[in-house]
C-alpha cells in the first residue's frame, strides 16, 4: 500500500502546533510507516510534490501576501485541508493587529526611529494583508483542530482516523479553544 | 389549577404556574445551554442560546412560562443550528482570544463552543476596538471579552442594590458602563463587592493580578446570597 502524503505549512503562528504534532509520542512510529511527510518545516522541503498530497495541516493565520498565495496553492494541491490550531482557526494572537492601520504599523516598527535605513522592507518581506484572517475565510477547510496548541491526543486521533479512511470525530473538549 | 402538565422532548412533566421552561427542564435533568441566565437573577432572554421550539416557534426557555399541554422540543437539528449561529456571532463581535485569557479553562463562552460543537466561526470577525478599564484598585473590565449578557448589571442592581453597572448605546456599539460612563475607579456608587466579577461568564470582568488561565469565577455566589436572604 502506498503511503499517504501529508504536508504541513507554517504561517503566522508560533510553531507551537508543530511542536504539539511532534509530541504525539509513539504514534509517530506508527505514522512513520504509513505516511510520507512532504513539504513541511520538519522536512524543510519547500514545494508540494507532483500530483499534490492527501492531507495538509496548516498552522497559523493568513497575514501576508505570500501566505495568501501559499494557502490557495495548498487548497489546490491537497485533498483535505486541516486548520491546525487556534491561529489557523480563529486568527488568535496574530489577529490582534486587526483594527489597527497596517501601514501605520509597518511605519511604526520599521520606519520611525530607524536612522540608517528608513525604507519600509516591502522588497524583502511579503507585504502584510490589511487584515489577518483565519484559513477558512480564504479557502474551504475540511477539519478544524482547536487549541493553542491542539492537544497531541486530538492531533493523533485526527490523523489516525483519516489514515483509516474515517471522518475524525471532533467533539466536546476536542473543540476547546485556548 | 395547581399543577401544569407539559411535554419536553417527549417526557411528560409537571410544573407549577409561573415556572419557566428552563426551570422545569433543568429540574428534570434536561440540559439547555444558557449564557445570560444566572441562578438568583431575573431572566431577560438576552443571549438567545436557550431557545427551544414550542409549536414551531422558537422561544427562549428562560423567559417562557410553562403552560398546560405545552409541547416543547429542546434539541432538534434546527435548534442546534440556530444556537450555533448565535454563538458564532457572539465570538465574532468581540475579541475572544482564549489562548491568553485569564479565564481560559473557566469560561462559559469557551465551554459553549465545545457543547454546541462550533468548529469554526462562519461569519466574519468584527475585531472591534474596545476600551479596557483597569482604574478600579482590585478589578478590571476588558470589554473585548464582554458578551453583553448583562449578568453584572443585574447582579449589581438586584443583589447588591448599587446599580453601578448599566448598558450604554445600542447594536454593535453597545457596552457596559459604570455610573454615568465614568472610569470604574471613579464610580462612586460601586461598593467593590465583587458580585459583578463572580457573575461574569467570561474573563471580561476580572480580578487584577490574575494571570493567563488563573481566573475561576464563583458563579453560584449570587444564588447563595439570594437563597440565604429568602430564608431570613
User: Is A83 within 8 Å of B115 when comparing Cβ atoms?
Assistant: no
Q: Where are the alpha helices (DSSP H) in chain B?
A: 21-27, 77-93, 108-115, 151-154, 195-199, 221-231
At residue B115, the pLDDT reads 98
Domains and CATH numbers, chain A: 4-97+130-167 (3.40.50.700)
User: Does residue B64 contact residue B4 with C-beta atoms inside 8 Å?
Assistant: no
Which residues is A55 bridged to in the sheet? A6, A80
User: Is A173 within 8 Å of B117 when comparing Cβ atoms?
Assistant: no
Looking at the complex, report in whole angstroms how far the Cα of residue B118 sits from the nearest Cα belonging to chain A.
Answer: 7
Supply the CATH classification number for the domain B97-231.
3.30.70.20
Considering the entire predicted model, what is its pTM? 0.94
A11 contact B CB<8A: no
- What pLDDT, in 10s, does the model give residues A39-82? 999 999 999 999 999 999 999 999 999 999 999 999 999 999 99
Q: Which of A89, A176, A178 sits opposite B120 (nearest CB)?
A: A89
Candidates 3.10.20.740, 3.10.450.350, 3.90.226.10, 3.30.1330.60; CATH matching B4-75: 3.10.20.740
What are the C-alpha distances in Å from B105 to residues A177, B97, B111? 9, 12, 8
- What pLDDT, in 10s, does the model give residues B90-137? 999 999 999 999 999 999 999 999 999 999 999 999 999 999 999 999
Q: Which of B98, B120, B127 sits opposite A98 (nearest CB)?
A: B127
Around Cβ A134, how many Cβ atoms within 10 Å?
A: 25
A137 contact B CB<8A: yes
Q: Which residues of A touch B96 (CB under 8 A)?
A: 177
A92 has pLDDT over 90: yes
Pick from B56, B63, B57: which is nearest to B34 by CA?
B63
The residue extents of the domains of chain B are: 4-75, 97-231
Which residues make Cβ contacts (< 8 Å) with residue B121, sequence separation at least 6?
A: A90, A134, B88, B91, B92
At residue A2, the pLDDT reads 86
User: Is A178 within 8 Å of B105 when comparing Cβ atoms?
Assistant: yes
At residue A106, the pLDDT reads 75
A124 contact B CB<8A: no
A117 has pLDDT over 70: no
User: Is B99 within 8 Å of A176 when comparing Cβ atoms?
Assistant: no
Q: Quick one: DSSP state of residue A149?
A: S
Q: Which residues of A touch B129 (CB under 8 A)?
A: 99
User: Is B104 within 8 Å of A131 when comparing Cβ atoms?
Assistant: no
Residue with cell 504534532: A21
User: Is B99 within 8 Å of A86 when comparing Cβ atoms?
Assistant: yes
- What pLDDT, in 10s, does the model give residues A128-156? 899 999 999 999 999 999 999 999 999 99
pLDDT band at A110 (very low <50, low <70, confident <90, very high): confident
Q: Which of A136, A176, A178 sits opposite B120 (nearest CB)?
A: A136
User: Does residue A80 contact residue A143 with C-beta atoms inside 8 Å?
Assistant: yes
Looking at the complex, report in whole angstroms how far the Cα of residue A100 sits from the nearest Cα belonging to chain B.
Answer: 9
Which residues make Cβ contacts (< 8 Å) with residue A104, sequence separation at least 6?
A: none
Predicted-complex ipTM score: 0.93
pLDDT < 70 positions in chain B? 1
At residue B1, the pLDDT reads 62
A107 has pLDDT over 90: no
Amino acid at each position: 500500500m502506498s503511503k499517504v502524503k501529508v504536508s504541513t505549512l507554517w504561517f503566522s503562528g508560533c510553531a507551537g502546533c508543530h511542536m504539539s504534532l511532534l509530541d504525539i509520542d509513539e504514534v509517530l512510529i506508527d505514522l512513520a510507516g504509513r505516511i510520507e511527510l512532504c513539504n513541511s518545516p520538519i522536512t524543510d522541503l519547500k514545494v508540494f510534490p507532483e500530483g499534490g498530497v492527501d492531507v495538509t495541516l496548516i498552522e497559523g493565520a493568513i497575514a501576508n501576501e505570500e501566505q495568501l498565495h501559499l494557502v490557495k496553492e495548498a487548497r489546490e494541491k491537497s485533498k483535505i485541508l486541516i486548520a491546525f490550531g487556534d491561529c489557523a482557526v480563529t486568527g488568535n494572537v496574530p489577529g490582534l493587529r486587526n483594527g489597527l492601520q497596517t501601514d501605520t504599523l509597518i511605519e511604526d516598527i520599521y520606519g520611525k526611529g530607524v536612522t540608517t535605513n528608513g525604507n519600509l522592507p516591502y522588497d524583502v518581506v511579503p507585504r502584510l494583508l490589511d487584515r489577518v484572517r483565519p484559513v477558512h475565510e480564504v479557502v474551504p477547510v475540511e477539519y478544524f483542530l482547536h487549541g493553542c496548541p491542539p492537544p497531541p491526543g486530538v492531533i493523533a486521533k485526527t490523523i489516525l482516523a483519516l489514515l483509516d479512511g474515517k471522518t475524525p470525530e471532533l467533539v466536546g473538549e476536542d473543540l476547546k479553544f485556548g | 389549577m395547581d399543577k401544569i402538565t407539559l411535554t419536553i422532548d417527549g417526557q411528560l412533566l409537571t410544573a407549577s404556574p409561573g415556572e419557566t421552561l428552563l426551570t422545569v427542564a433543568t429540574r428534570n435533568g434536561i440540559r439547555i445551554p444558557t449564557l445570560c441566565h444566572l441562578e438568583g437573577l431575573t431572566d431577560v432572554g438576552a443571549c438567545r442560546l436557550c431557545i427551544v421550539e414550542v409549536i414551531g416557534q422558537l422561544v427562549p426557555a428562560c423567559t417562557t412560562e410553562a403552560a398546560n399541554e405545552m409541547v416543547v422540543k429542546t434539541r432538534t437539528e434546527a435548534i442546534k443550528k440556530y444556537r450555533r449561529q448565535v454563538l458564532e456571532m457572539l465570538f465574532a463581535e468581540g475579541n475572544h482570544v482564549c489562548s491568553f485569557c485569564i479565564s481560559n479553562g473557566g469560561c462559559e463562552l469557551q465551554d459553549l463552543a465545545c457543547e454546541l460543537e462550533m468548529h469554526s466561526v462562519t461569519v466574519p470577525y468584527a475585531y472591534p476596538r474596545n476600551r479596557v478599564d483597569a482604574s478600579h484598585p482590585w478589578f478590571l473590565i476588558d470589554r473585548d471579552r464582554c458578551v453583553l449578557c448583562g449578568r453584572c448589571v443585574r447582579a449589581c442592581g438586584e443583589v447588591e442594590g448599587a446599580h453601578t453597572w448599566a448598558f450604554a448605546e445600542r447594536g454593535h456599539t453597545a457596552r457596559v458602563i459604570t455610573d454615568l460612563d465614568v472610569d470604574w475607579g471613579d464610580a462612586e456608587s460601586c461598593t467593590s463587592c465583587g458580585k459583578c466579577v463572580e457573575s461574569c461568564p467570561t474573563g471580561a470582568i476580572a480580578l487584577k493580578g490574575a494571570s493567563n488561565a488563573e481566573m475561576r469565577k464563583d458563579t453560584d455566589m449570587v444564588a447563595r446570597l439570594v437563597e440565604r436572604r429568602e430564608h431570613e
